[in-house]
Amino acid sequence: MKRMYKIMVYIILLSMCFHIAPYQPSAENSVSAHNAVLIEQHSGRILYEKAPHEKQRIASITKIMTAILAIESGKIDQVVKVSPNAIGVEGSSLYLVDGEKIKLKDLVYGLMLRSGNDSAVAIAEEVGGSLEGFVYLMNQKAEELGMVNTHFANPHGLDDHEDHYSTAYDMALLTRYAMQNEIYKEISGTKLYRMPHPEEKWDRVWKNKNKLLTNLYPYTTGGKTGYTKRAKRTLVTTASKDGLDLIAVTLNAPSDWNDHISMYESAFSSYKLTKVIKEGEFEGSNDPYYKHKLYVKRDVLYPLQEDEKSSIKLEAKLLKPSENWGDHASTPNIVGRINVYHNGEVIDHVSVYYKKGADEGGNGFWNKIKGMIFSFLGVRSNG
């Protein structure tokens, strides 16, 4: 009896909801950037923000879009012939040779590690057919990703157009999307890359300009640097620790390396990626037809602070069992879904599946306790 009481107390404690508020750095950890945002990769939750939707010049972090379009073009292993248009582009350069033949993948490495503007033009001409054609693809992709305050005018970020801009938040959205691509992740996180030079005996060796990745912050997994006289210092980085994957963006940041480390350290010490819903058996209905027959196929994860409460709510909506289902074989595979709410807004949802025959969802002590937790959290069922 005493043990059961302890279990019930534990369940009630778990079922207390969480109040969620973005982390804001204290005065001693203030961010130097004019614009900044920190988001969690899996959920997209904003953990810190400073004028994140203000349109600004973005310099070479533009090349994140150039890189992901090149990777998704289906031409990544094709050989590109470098045109005269790519030679001598101002700013950082790979010093490509007119007419040289180079793999598109190598151009993307040079683009991301050394920020080659000549590489950006060569990529644009190959993937888009022309600079104008590639810019069209850039803006089309931005629209698809919901980058509503972004407009691209070139593939490199140089200050040669007045209508080339984005926001800290939009660049975080882009990076979150790009980091789902394994080739992009590999290239973005590469510290050193070597390839043969077409006209010399020595190899080209490109060291990543992202100092957080190469030596300043051990949890860094990738990113892109940027600078022009008008945009000032811009920086996108990614970092991972204890299962928490973060994306930081700063625009016009005099102390961008320190800004990113400060945001990361504060978030890593404050947040944990928490299982809001656990994969397996779901006991969200009192209907005997559904007893021990419902399950979900994946976890729902969300970054939470230890003391957060009352803003995560779960709601289960289930189909009413029908006479036409007869035996269990006629029951639909999906019989409902669970909505996950944060401050009244749906942040995720999972389908609820019906077990037919073999035990697909598992059972045992944890799943029984989990079903009780759902009840205490206020999961409602229709049917």
Taken in order of first residue, the domains within the chain and their CATH numbers are 31-269 (3.40.710.10), 278-376 (2.30.140.30)
Which residues is 341 bridged to in the sheet? 313, 346
Secondary-structure breakdown of the chain: helix, strand, coil percentages, each rounded to the nearest 5 = 35, 25, 40
Tokens of residue 104, six digits: 């598109």
- 30 is known as an active-site residue: no
Question: Would you call 144 helix, strand, or coil by DSSP?
Answer: helix
Phi then psi dihedrals of residue 357, to 5 deg: 80, -115
Buried b / exposed e over 298-321, threshold 16 CB at 10 Å, is eebbbbbbeebeebbbbbbbbbeb
pLDDT the model gives residue 312: 86
Residues of the chain with pLDDT under 50: 1-23, 25-28, 358-383
pLDDT the model gives residue 323: 81
Q: Dihedral through CA 167, CA 168, CA 171, CA 177, nearest 10?
A: -130
Q: Please state the separation of Cα 343 from the chain's center in Å.
A: 21
Alpha carbons 101 and 104: distance in angstroms, whole number: 9
- Identify the residue whose tokens are 């940027």: 226
Contacts of 33 (CB under 8 A, 6+ apart): 50, 168, 250, 251, 252, 253, 256, 259
Nearest to 157 by CA among 129, 117, 195, 189: 117
pLDDT the model gives residue 140: 98
Beta strands in 58-129 (DSSP E): 79-81, 101-103
Tokens of residue 381, six digits: 């069922």
Alpha carbons 338 and 288: distance in angstroms, whole number: 19
Q: Which amino acid is at 52?
A: P
If one counts every other C-beta atom within 10 angstroms of the C-beta of residue 46, the result is 15
Alpha carbons 306 and 80: distance in angstroms, whole number: 52
Tokens of residue 281, six digits: 């058996």
Set 43, 50, 60, 188: catalytic member: 60
- 43 is known as an active-site residue: no
pLDDT the model gives residue 29: 55
pLDDT the model gives residue 324: 81
Set 43, 50, 92, 115: catalytic member: 115
pLDDT the model gives residue 30: 85
Set 50, 63, 105, 209: catalytic member: 63
Its sign, for the CA torsion 158, 164, 170, 173, is: negative
> Do the beta carbons of residue 93 and residue 117 sit within 8 Å?
yes
Contacts of 130 (CB under 8 A, 6+ apart): 124
